[in-house]
């Protein structure tokens, strides 16, 4: 393939590329993909006082890529069964309340069964004794069982949200949460944060501060984010209720009620990167000042698997770089490699006013797709094949023509109308598809 010039088009800008094939380099890339798709499910709960009991709103999100779909018997499409068990326990582990939910998910197309941005999302409500301090969830998908435990309080009757309710911006009485385990999805331009704490006083002034926390050991550091500061008043009393939107997505609705202690913020988050953050509220009119703190995360839940693992991400950059550039990228620690990779894409970001880089996301999503779509027994990593390379750099072809002659090797022709290019691949006796020719169509007159 050396000598065949290729280009990547992202956001309408053609980026010139190196003319060298990707080498194996001995990296067992299969390790970086197994288990990466649909690896996470999310749960978050919000307890509130309700007389001698606790009202608990529980939200659960399971990506379709985590579900076990089977072809529907007697009907078109695919089906998956879900069983969710929820137990509310006290300090000694005695279960005081139990909920069960069985449901079925149906989709028509196979592609929907592996989508990470589509999910089964449900909201549940429970009235539990005030002695309850934790919630245990058990999700059964076929023969596989997944568990989570959420802490409600450190002692019976002592309630405090450790994380805010992170929701979509806008609205007043209706709050639409993202349901990512109290995290904000990376790429959001803004977010609505709803806080509850019994120490928040109605009508009192508070100053807020939102700051990025240092990366913990082993965490990836993306970039520095400026602090956000301002003033806010606690103006609401009311009770949350689960509300189902017309789309079926669960939301919360504020209804009149005696529960006070609420503060809401809507903050711009376009430049925020994945990581941990702290939101602080400070009573401005007391001495000493009362300080309340909550933590939340910004999460790229659909981050391409090829970008999650830095060695493989660096290897995947080989199509875009010269030998010298690639060698410079490979030098240093994993942290240094990631920093250089992040800076490379940041300089080529088609939307520099936001932290989310569409060009980088598109490139590594293509790497993910190529890894599986073009793998074979002889080429287990489809991203390192000739067809994988063309797909990564050009995307989905306009159409594909296949020819299986009796006395010659099978062939595929990928046609890109937008670029007026045709790529001819040929199946060799060793089972590998090789790029043998690139043709440029003459422009129409």
Query: What pLDDT digit, counting tens, does each position of 198-253 carry?
Result: 889 998 899 999 999 998 888 888 999 999 999 999 988 999 999 889 888 999 99
For residue 79, which phi and psi values (nearest 5 degrees)?
-135, 145
Q: What is the mean pLDDT of residues 374-390?
A: 94
- The more confidently predicted of residues 1 and 134 is 134
CA distances from 348 to 240, 255, 356, 361 (A): 44, 47, 12, 12
From residue 317, give the alpha-carbon distance in Å to each of 17, 313, 321.
Answer: 10, 7, 7
Distance CA(291)–CA(69), nearest Å, equals: 48
Query: How far is the C-alpha of 401 from the C-alpha of 213, rounded, in Å?
Result: 52
Identify the pLDDT of residue 170.
Answer: 87
Is residue 26 pLDDT above 50, yes or no? Answer: no
> CA–CA separation, 93 vs 377, rounded Å?
51
Angle at 135 between CA 298 and CA 199, to 5 degrees: 70
Q: What is the pLDDT of residue 218?
A: 80
CA distance 67 to 61: 11
Structural class in CATH, domain 47-158 = mainly beta
Higher pLDDT, 346 or 153: 346
Name the percent of the chain lying above pLDDT 70.
89
Q: Where are the chain's structural domains?
A: 7-35+303-440, 47-158, 160-300
Instruction: Give the pLDDT confidence score for residue 441 in this predicted structure.
Output: 78
Task: Please give the C-alpha separations between residue 24 and each of 51, 103, 341, 355, 379, in angstroms, as whole numbers.
Answer: 64, 44, 19, 32, 10
Q: Give per-residue pLDDT as tens, 85-96.
A: 999 999 999 999
Q: Flag whether pLDDT at 17 surpasses 50.
A: no
Query: Are 240 and 57 within 8 A, CB to CB?
Result: yes
Banded pLDDT at 9 (limits 50, 70, 90): very low
Element (H, E) at 86: strand 78-89
Residue 331: its H or E element: none
Average pLDDT of span 358-385: 94
Asked whether 276 and 184 are in contact (CB, 8 A), the reply is no
pLDDT in tens, 268-281: 999 999 999 999 99
CATH homologous superfamily for 160-300?
Answer: Immunoglobulins (2.60.40.10)
Question: What tens digit of pLDDT does each residue of 137-147 get?
Answer: 999 988 889 99
pLDDT tens, position by position, 56-68: 999 999 999 889 9
- Does residue 37 register a pLDDT over 60? no
What is the distance between the alpha carbons of residues 436 and 427, in angstroms, rounded to a whole number? 10
Whether residue 331 has pLDDT greater than 60: yes
Question: How does residue 337 score in pLDDT terms, banded at 50, 70 and 90?
Answer: very high
What sections of 216-357 are H helices per DSSP?
305-308, 310-316, 323-330, 334-346
User: CA 147 to CA 144: how far, in whole Å?
Assistant: 10
Query: Edge-to-edge, what's the strand order for the sheet holding 433-440?
Result: 399-403, 411-416, 421-427, 433-440
Closest C-alpha to 409, from 427, 396, 397, 436 = 427
| Predicted pLDDT at 406 | 82
pLDDT of residue 124: 95
Average pLDDT value over all residues in the chain: 87
pLDDT tens for residues 279-320?
999 987 765 667 899 999 999 998 999 999 899 999 999 999
Establish whether domains 47-158 and 160-300 are of one fold. yes
CA pair distance 373, 382, nearest whole angstrom: 6
Residues 106-148: tens digit of each pLDDT: 999 988 887 778 899 999 999 999 999 999 999 998 888 999 9
- Read off φ and ψ for residue 8, nearest 5 degrees: -110, 125
pLDDT at 407: 83
Mean of pLDDT values over 40-67: 92
What is the chain's percent helix, strand, coil content, to nearest 5?
15, 40, 45
Model pTM?
A: 0.86
């Amino acid at each position: 393939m050396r000598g065949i010039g290729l280009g990547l088009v992202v956001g309408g800008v053609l980026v010139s590329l190196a003319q060298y094939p990707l080498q194996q380099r001995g990296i067992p890339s299969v390790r970086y993909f197994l288990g990466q798709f649909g690896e996470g499910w999310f749960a978050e709960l919000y307890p509130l006082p309700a007389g001698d009991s606790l009202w608990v709103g529980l939200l659960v999100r399971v990506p379709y890529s985590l579900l076990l779909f089977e072809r529907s018997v007697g009907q078109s499409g695919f089906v998956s069964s879900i069983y969710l068990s929820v137990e509310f326990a006290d300090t000694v582990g005695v279960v005081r309340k139990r909920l069960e939910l069985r449901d079925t998910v149906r989709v028509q197309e196979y592609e929907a069964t592996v989508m990470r941005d589509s999910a089964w999302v449900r909201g549940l409500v429970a009235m539990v004794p005030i002695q309850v301090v934790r919630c245990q969830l058990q999700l059964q998908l076929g023969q596989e069982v997944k568990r989570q435990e959420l802490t409600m309080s450190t002692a019976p009757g002592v309630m405090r949200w450790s994380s805010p309710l992170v929701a979509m911006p806008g609205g007043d009485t209706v709050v639409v949460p993202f349901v990512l385990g109290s995290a904000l999805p990376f790429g959001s331009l803004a977010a609505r944060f709803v806080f509850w704490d019994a120490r928040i006083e109605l009508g009192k002034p508070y100053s807020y501060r939102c700051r990025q926390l240092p990366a913990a050991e082993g965490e990836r550091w993306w970039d520095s984010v400026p602090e956000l500061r301002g003033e806010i008043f606690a103006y609401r009393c009311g009770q949350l209720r689960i509300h189902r939107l017309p789309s079926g997505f669960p939301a919360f609705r504020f209804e009149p009620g005696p529960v006070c202690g609420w503060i809401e913020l809507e903050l711009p988050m376009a430049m925020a990167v994945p990581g941990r953050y702290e939101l602080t509220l400070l009573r401005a009119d007391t001495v000493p000042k009362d300080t309340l703190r909550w933590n939340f995360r910004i999460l790229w839940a659909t981050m391409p698997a090829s970008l999650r693992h830095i060695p493989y991400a660096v290897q995947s950059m080989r199509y875009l770089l010269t030998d010298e550039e690639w060698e410079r990228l490979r030098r240093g620690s994993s942290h240094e490699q990631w920093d250089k990779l992040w800076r490379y894409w940041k300089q080529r970001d088609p939307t520099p006013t936001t932290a989310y880089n569409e060009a980088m996301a598109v490139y590594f999503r293509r790497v993910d797709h190529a890894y599986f779509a073009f793998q074979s027994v002889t080429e287990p990593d489809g991203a390192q094949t000739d067809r994988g390379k063309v797909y990564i750099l050009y995307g989905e072809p306009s159409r594909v023509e296949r020819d299986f002659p009796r006395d010659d090797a099978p062939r595929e022709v990928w046609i890109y109308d937008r670029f007026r290019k045709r790529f001819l691949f040929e199946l060799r006796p060793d089972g590998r598809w090789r790029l043998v020719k690139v043709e440029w169509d003459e422009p129409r007159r």
